[in-house]
C-alpha cells in the first residue's frame, strides 16, 4: 500500500473507533426503562445507521488539543442526540413531512406523531443531561458549565431552532442571500461549530485553538450544507441515500438555486480549503479533521 492508502485506512480505523465509543455510550445512556415506548422511539432514531460524524469531531478535537477522549464522550453523544432530535421534529407532518430517513420510515411513521414529538422533547433534555451527569469529575466544573452554555445557545432559537424557524417561514418565498446564510449557519453550521469547539474546550486548549477549531467547524458545517444542496441536484438515490430533486420540487431556496451550480461547487471547495488551512496554521495535526473537510469537497467534485 502507498502512504496515502495507509493514511486513509488509519482514518477509517479512527472513525470506527469513535463510532464504537459513541454507540456504546448511547446504548447504555438510553437503555430501555418505563415508559418503554418513549425510550424505544428515542433509540430508533439515535441508534439508527449513520456515520456519527459530529461526535467524532468532538472526540478528535479533544484529542488533537491534548485532551482525554473519555472526558469528551458525554458531550460528543449530546451532539448526536441533539442531531437526532432535529431529524425527528423536522420530519413531522407539520414540518417537512418526510416518510423516510436514512432508508427507514421516519420516527412518527413508526411511533405516531404524539410519541415522535415527545421523543424529540426527551432528547432535548437528555442531551444536556448527559453533559451534566456523565462528564468525568476530572473536568473543571467551570468548563462543564461553559460547554453547557455553548451547547444550549447552539441548540436554541439563536442557533439550530432559529435556523429551522427561518427555514420554515421562508418556504415558497424568494429568499435573500443573507437569510439563506443565516439558515445554513444555524440549521447545519452551529452543531458542527459547537462540536469542534467543545472538544477544544474540554481539553482546556488555548483561546486561539478553541477559536480556530470553532472556525473549522463553521466552515465545514457550511460546506456540508451547500454540498447537500448540490447533491440534491447532481446526485442519485444510491450515492446520497435519499430521493434527489426534493428541494426543487418543494421550491426550497438553496445555494445552487440562488447562485448557480458552478459558484456553489467553488464555494464548497473554498470553504473546505479554508478549513484545512486553519488546522495547519494552528498546528492542529489531525488527518481525520483534514480528511473530513476534503471528503466534502471530493463529493461535489465527483463526476
* Nearer CB in complex with its own copies: 47/148: 148
Rounded to a whole number of angstroms, the minimum distance from the CB of residue 78 to its own copies is 11
- Please answer whether residues 46 and 75 qualify as being in contact, where contact means their C-beta atoms are separated by less than 8 angstroms: no
| DSSP 8-state class, residue 31 | -
Rounded to a whole number of angstroms, the minimum distance from the CB of residue 66 to its own copies is 24
Under the binding rule (CB under 8 A), the answer on residue 144 touching its own copies is yes
- Please answer whether residues 163 and 187 qualify as being in contact, where contact means their C-beta atoms are separated by less than 8 angstroms: yes
Q: How far is the C-alpha of 217 from the C-alpha of 239, rounded, in Å?
A: 24
Q: How far is the C-alpha of 157 from the C-alpha of 166, rounded, in Å?
A: 10
Return the C-alpha cell found at 96. 417537512
Residue in 1, 4, 33, 174 binding its own copies, rule: CB under 8 A: 33
Under the binding rule (CB under 8 A), the answer on residue 169 touching its own copies is yes
- Please answer whether residues 162 and 154 qualify as being in contact, where contact means their C-beta atoms are separated by less than 8 angstroms: no
Rounded to a whole number of angstroms, the minimum distance from the CB of residue 147 to its own copies is 10
Return the C-alpha cell found at 243. 430521493
Rounded to a whole number of angstroms, the minimum distance from the CB of residue 115 to its own copies is 7
Rounded to a whole number of angstroms, the minimum distance from the CB of residue 41 to its own copies is 9
Residue in 53, 161, 202, 230 binding its own copies, rule: CB under 8 A: 161
* Nearer CB in complex with its own copies: 117/258: 117
Return the C-alpha cell found at 13. 480505523
Rounded to a whole number of angstroms, the minimum distance from the CB of residue 198 to its own copies is 14
Under the binding rule (CB under 8 A), the answer on residue 152 touching its own copies is yes
Q: What share of the chain is helix, strand, coil (3-state, %, to 5)?
A: 75, 0, 25
Q: 3-state DSSP call for residue 228?
A: helix
Under the binding rule (CB under 8 A), the answer on residue 145 touching its own copies is yes
Nearest to 85 by CA among 39, 112, 116: 116
Q: Name 21's Cβ contacts closer than 8 Å, sequence gap at least 6.
A: 59, 69, 73, 76
Residues 188-227 that bind its own copies (CB under 8 A): none
Under the binding rule (CB under 8 A), the answer on residue 13 touching its own copies is no
* Nearer CB in complex with its own copies: 144/289: 144
Under the binding rule (CB under 8 A), the answer on residue 89 touching its own copies is yes
Show the DSSP H helices in 30-140 as ranges: 36-46, 53-64, 69-90, 107-111, 113-134
Under the binding rule (CB under 8 A), the answer on residue 126 touching its own copies is yes
Return the C-alpha cell found at 279. 488546522
Rounded to a whole number of angstroms, the minimum distance from the CB of residue 247 to its own copies is 18
Binding-residue total with its own copies (CB under 8 A)? 48
Q: How far is the C-alpha of 146 from the C-alpha of 151, rounded, in Å?
A: 9
**Using CB under 8 A as the criterion, which residues of the chain lie in contact with its own copies when the complex forms?**
33-35, 37-39, 42, 85, 89, 92, 94-95, 112-115, 117-118, 120-122, 124-126, 128-129, 132-133, 141-142, 144-145, 148-149, 152-153, 155-158, 161-162, 164-166, 168-169, 182
Amino acid at each position: 500500500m502507498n502512504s496515502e492508502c495507509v493514511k486513509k485506512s488509519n482514518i477509517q480505523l479512527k472513525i470506527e473507533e469513535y463510532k464504537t465509543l459513541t454507540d456504546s455510550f448511547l446504548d447504555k445512556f438510553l437503555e430501555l426503562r418505563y415508559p418503554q415506548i418513549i425510550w424505544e422511539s428515542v433509540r430508533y432514531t439515535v441508534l439508527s445507521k449513520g456515520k456519527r460524524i459530529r461526535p467524532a469531531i468532538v472526540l478528535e478535537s479533544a484529542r488533537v488539543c491534548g485532551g482525554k477522549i473519555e472526558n469528551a464522550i458525554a458531550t460528543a453523544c449530546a451532539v448526536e442526540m441533539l442531531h437526532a432530535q432535529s431529524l425527528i421534529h423536522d420530519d413531522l407532518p407539520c414540518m417537512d413531512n418526510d416518510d423516510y430517513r436514512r432508508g427507514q420510515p421516519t420516527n412518527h411513521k413508526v411511533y405516531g406523531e404524539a410519541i415522535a414529538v415527545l421523543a424529540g422533547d426527551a432528547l432535548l433534555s437528555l442531551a444536556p443531561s448527559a453533559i451534566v451527569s456523565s462528564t468525568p469529575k476530572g473536568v473543571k466544573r467551570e468548563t462543564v458549565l461553559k460547554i453547557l452554555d455553548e451547547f444550549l445557545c447552539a441548540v436554541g432559537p439563536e442557533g439550530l431552532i432559529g435556523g429551522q424557524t427561518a427555514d420554515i417561514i421562508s418556504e415558497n418565498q424568494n429568499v435573500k442571500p443573507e437569510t439563506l446564510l443565516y439558515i445554513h449557519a444555524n440549521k447545519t453550521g452551529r452543531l458542527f461549530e459547537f462540536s469542534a469547539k467543545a472538544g477544544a474546550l474540554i481539553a482546556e486548549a488555548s483561546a486561539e485553538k478553541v477559536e480556530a477549531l470553532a472556525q473549522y467547524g463553521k466552515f465545514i458545517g457550511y460546506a456540508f450544507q451547500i454540498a447537500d444542496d448540490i447533491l440534491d441536484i447532481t446526485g442519485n438515490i444510491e450515492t446520497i441515500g435519499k430521493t434527489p430533486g426534493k428541494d426543487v420540487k418543494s421550491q426550497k431556496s438553496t445555494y445552487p438555486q440562488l447562485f448557480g451550480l458552478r459558484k456553489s461547487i467553488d464555494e464548497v471547495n473554498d470553504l473546505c480549503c479554508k478549513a484545512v488551512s486553519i488546522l495547519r496554521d494552528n498546528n492542529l495535526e489531525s488527518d481525520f479533521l483534514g480528511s473530513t473537510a476534503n471528503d466534502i469537497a471530493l463529493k461535489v467534485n465527483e463526476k
